[in-house]
């Protein structure tokens, strides 16, 4: 008895299978498709008239079993129930993520006559899951403010290319994390990510650090040394504090970027390098160009795609999210329970201007973890500069209304789970102020 005869034994089986939302496809032991339900037709974009009797590998790229096919390698007797993820392309070239289950079909003698696949399309679920993950963090960067979401999207867009990126932002905003995220999202992810702090290496040593040197090139050069460009070959070179480069080093770096080859100090030959450049600065590099302090041609080589990181004070709704993340990390490192934040401590964190940005927040929380003796961090456990700002806050706010914008309010409402009182606390305004703002938005 073949598979078609086996299926035909059951009255209304086709009607039942056609009513399912999951895709169902069956083939015989020669891989000829013997059945496809309506859900599978919609998923694949192929009608049953087109596919019945066809080899599943001719209809579906790689077959509908991916690399798990028991009818491609070895005997069909090895066929057994399997569950695995599967990606299938429709006729429009759109890919669908599936949860697949393949079951062997046997006749009344127990012989394998084919296999049937049931597949659930989880593409939208997977996209929603990724969206939820992206709302809070991306590649180790924590933040759900709309400006950080824009940064994440730009990283995803630029990462697959080899285009040079210039990351700009105040000290402590996480520029190296952005560079690392671009590298990790790119095809170079398995290759080196090499960091050079251009402002921390004396000019006399920087050329050797970047390009390497040969033995005897200068006093102390007792052996050949590879530079950072060679160490990053095939990967990414991150030039931090690039605005600190001297005019001489700017010229030499420009030549390397143009020729894609380096010359070790003291060498007479060149070496080709395949390196993606990501640079960063806490200065306005365009203003440095206009002031003739930075070469314009090098600027355009480095800044094909600019990424601007907002300061922490401009994404206030991320402060408590970051605090929760770092306190959990510190608690794990010190084997302590995760402390909470008192209302006074929260006010201190939200009202402070954070000139040192995320790096300063980390330091403040570490200080508080050391100081606190209970399960709750109090305002007095925080560094004195945060407490001072909170004490002066009523004077600063006198006669001045707190301005709200819709993006921050939406994020605060989402963070608080719709609790308006909590959202008002996150925004640093009174509940009445938030209620008036929301009423104005609804009436508008």
Residue range(s) defining the domain that contains residue 344? 313-397
In tens, the pLDDT along 252-298 reads 999 999 999 999 988 888 899 999 999 999 999 999 999 999 999 99
In angstroms, what CA-CA distances link 343 with 89, 203, 323, 350, 390? 52, 49, 14, 11, 12
339 and 359 assigned to the same domain = yes
* Assigned domain for 329 exists: yes
275 and 172 assigned to the same domain = yes
Measure CA 165 to chain center: 16
* Assigned domain for 126 exists: no
Q: What is the dihedral of CA 375, 379, 380, 382, to 10 degrees?
A: 90
Residue whose pair of structure tokens reads 């006198």 in the numeric block: 398
Q: Which sign does the torsion angle of CA 266, 272, 273, 277 carry? A: positive
320 and 304 assigned to the same domain = no
Measure CA 172 to chain center: 19
259 and 285 assigned to the same domain = yes
The CATH number linked to 75 is 3.30.450.20
Cα–Cα distance, 179 to 386 (Å, whole number): 30
98 and 16 assigned to the same domain = yes
374 and 429 assigned to the same domain = no
140 and 279 assigned to the same domain = yes
Residue whose pair of structure tokens reads 């306190």 in the numeric block: 327
Number of domains in the chain: 4
143 and 257 assigned to the same domain = yes
In tens, the pLDDT along 52-96 reads 888 877 777 655 565 556 665 444 445 667 777 766 667 776 767
Secondary structure class of 198 (helix, strand, coil): coil
68 and 170 assigned to the same domain = no
Query: What is the pLDDT at residue 398?
Result: 41
Residue 261: partners with Cβ closer than 8 Å, 6 or more residues away? 270, 271, 272, 273
* Assigned domain for 127 exists: no
160 and 267 assigned to the same domain = yes
Query: Measuring CA to CA, which residue among 62, 44, 45 is closest to residue 119?
Result: 44
296 and 318 assigned to the same domain = no
Query: What is the pLDDT at residue 16?
Result: 75
Residues of the chain with pLDDT under 70: 1-12, 61-80, 86-89, 93, 95, 126-136, 390-403, 407, 411, 414-415, 417, 426, 444
Burial of 443 (0-12, 13-18, 19+ CB in 10 A): exposed
Query: What is the pLDDT at residue 240?
Result: 96
* Global pTM value: 0.61
69 and 143 assigned to the same domain = no
């Amino acid at each position: 008895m073949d598979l078609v005869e086996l299926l035909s034994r059951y009255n209304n089986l086709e009607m039942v299978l056609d009513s399912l939302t999951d895709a169902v496809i069956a083939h015989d032991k020669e891989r000829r498709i013997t059945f496809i339900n309506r859900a599978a037709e919609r998923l694949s974009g192929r009608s049953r008239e087109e596919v019945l009797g066809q080899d599943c590998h001719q209809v579906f790229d790689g077959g509908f079993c991916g690399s798990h096919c028991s009818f491609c390698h070895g005997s069909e007797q090895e066929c057994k129930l399997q569950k695995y993820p599967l990606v299938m392309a429709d006729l429009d070239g759109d890919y669908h993520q599936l949860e697949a289950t393949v079951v062997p079909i046997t006749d009344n003698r127990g012989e394998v006559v084919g296999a049937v696949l049931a597949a659930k399309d989880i593409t939208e679920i997977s996209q929603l899951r990724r969206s939820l993950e992206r709302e809070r963090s991306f590649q180790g960067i924590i933040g759900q403010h709309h400006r950080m979401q824009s940064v994440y999207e730009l990283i995803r867009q630029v990462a697959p290319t080899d285009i040079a990126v210039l990351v700009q932002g105040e000290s402590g905003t996480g520029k190296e994390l952005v560079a690392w995220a671009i590298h990790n999202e790119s095809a170079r992810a398995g290759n080196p990510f090499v960091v050079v702090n251009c402002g921390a290496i004396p000019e006399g040593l920087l050329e050797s650090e970047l390009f390497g040197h040969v033995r005897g090139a200068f006093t102390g050069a007792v052996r050949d040394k590879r530079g950072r460009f060679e160490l990053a070959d095939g990967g990414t070179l991150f030039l931090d504090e690039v605005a600190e480069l001297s005019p001489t080093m700017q010229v030499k770096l420009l030549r390397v970027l143009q020729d894609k080859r380096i010359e070790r100090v003291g060498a007479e030959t060149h070496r080709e390098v395949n390196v993606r450049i990501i640079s960063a600065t806490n200065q306005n590099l365009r203003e440095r160009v206009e002031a003739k302090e930075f070469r314009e041609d090098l600027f355009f080589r480095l800044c094909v795609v600019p990424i601007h990181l907002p300061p922490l004070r401009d994404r206030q709704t991320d402060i408590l999210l970051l605090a929760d993340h770092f306190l959990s990390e510190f608690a794990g490192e010190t084997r302590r329970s995760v402390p909470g934040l008192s209302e006074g401590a929260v006010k201190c964190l939200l009202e402070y201007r954070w000139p040192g940005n995320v790096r300063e927040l980390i330091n403040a929380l570490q200080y508080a973890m050391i100081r606190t003796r209970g399960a709750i961090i109090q305002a007095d456990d925080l560094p004195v500069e945060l407490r001072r700002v909170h004490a002066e806050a009523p004077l600063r706010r006198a006669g001045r209304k707190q301005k709200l914008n819709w993006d921050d309010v939406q994020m605060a409402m989402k963070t608080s789970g719709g609790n308006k009182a909590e959202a008002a606390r996150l925004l640093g305004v009174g509940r009445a102020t938030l209620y008036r703002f929301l009423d104005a938005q609804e009436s508008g």
